[in-house]
Amino acid sequence: MERMPLGVARLDRMIGGGAPAGSVVLLAGESGAGAREFAYTSAVMNGLAEQGADRFDLHYGDLENGATLPGGIHYISFTDERTAVASEMSFVMETDLVETGMDAVEFVELAEEYFQLTPVPTEWYAERTADITQLGSQTEREDVLEAFAGYLSEHATGDLVIVDSVTDLIAAADDRLGWSDLTVLLKGLARASHRWGGVILLLVNSELLEPTQLGRLKEATDGTLLFEWESGGSERARTMVVEQFRGVLSRLEDENIVRFETEIGDAGFDISNVRKIR
């Protein structure tokens, strides 16, 4: 089975080189527990493989046999600008790694579609305020789910796509789109992704979800990486649990591994210790 690297070297080696091509993976986590850092690392490291091979070799190493780099890398944001995301990435990783890696990333802003039917002033999210001749056409724009789906249909084949974040879509679904619209879209996305042959990472803040909502998101995707804080004595540690990952979980279970201790370093998200559960 062809694999696409997730950009976290130690994890990729354990699962045969990366996520199976065609996978939709949910990155669900508590605030600061590592889900967002994982997404940043995935984007930057895969970009670094294209733009800075020497730096990629230094921080990641060799690809596993059967692993293939994505044809392109896309970072979709519903609320943030590229500069804001890149700035936050630089708090997680070395700035020069971010700058080099992000040169290979196509950053997609869907803020206009996301905010167009809200009370948010147009000048806060658009390049310029619409004039009087444009106001009538605003209601004819695609809604955010249509714009999101349309972009994926055109660009996801054979590529890595990071979606930041499903939490924003959930907020939109609560306000005007309907929760069922979102979950059906994600189920359709998983079906289409198997044909596209890329990997799609969906970032979500699990603290804002009811257990049944998180369960429905898990059911709509091929795998879930759950990022949690674990208390031990006077310290808290970040952990990552691999859940229901098609083509991956059985491999980890053969090694009696399902939980990883993690850390955030200069090169981004990493695994610091492997927890074997017997």
Q: Using H for helix, E for strand and C for coil, what is the string for 216-235?
A: HHHHCCCEEEEEEEEEECCE
Structure tokens that stand for 41 in this block: 């690392």
The predicted pLDDT at position 23 comes to: 96
Task: Work out the angle at residue 270's Cα, subtended by the Cα atoms of residues 52 and 197, and round it to the nearest 5 degrees.
Answer: 65
Cβ contact 252:276 at 8 Å: no
Mean pLDDT across the chain: 88
Specify the CATH architecture of the domain 3-276: 3-Layer(aba) Sandwich (3.40)
Indicate whether this model's pTM tops 0.85: yes
The predicted pLDDT at position 132 comes to: 37
What is the rounded distance in angstroms from the CA atom of residue 177 to the CA atom of residue 79?
Answer: 17
The predicted pLDDT at position 129 comes to: 46
Burial of 56 (0-12, 13-18, 19+ CB in 10 A): buried
Is residue 133 pLDDT above 70, yes or no? no
**Confidence band of 120 (pLDDT split at 50, 70, 90):** confident
The predicted pLDDT at position 128 comes to: 54
What is the rounded distance in angstroms from the CA atom of residue 80 to the CA atom of residue 200?
Answer: 19
Q: Looking at 15-158, which runs of residues are DSSP E strands?
A: 19-20, 23-29, 73-77, 105-109
The predicted pLDDT at position 173 comes to: 67
Q: Lowest mean pLDDT: which of 28-37, 69-78, 133-142, 168-177?
A: 133-142
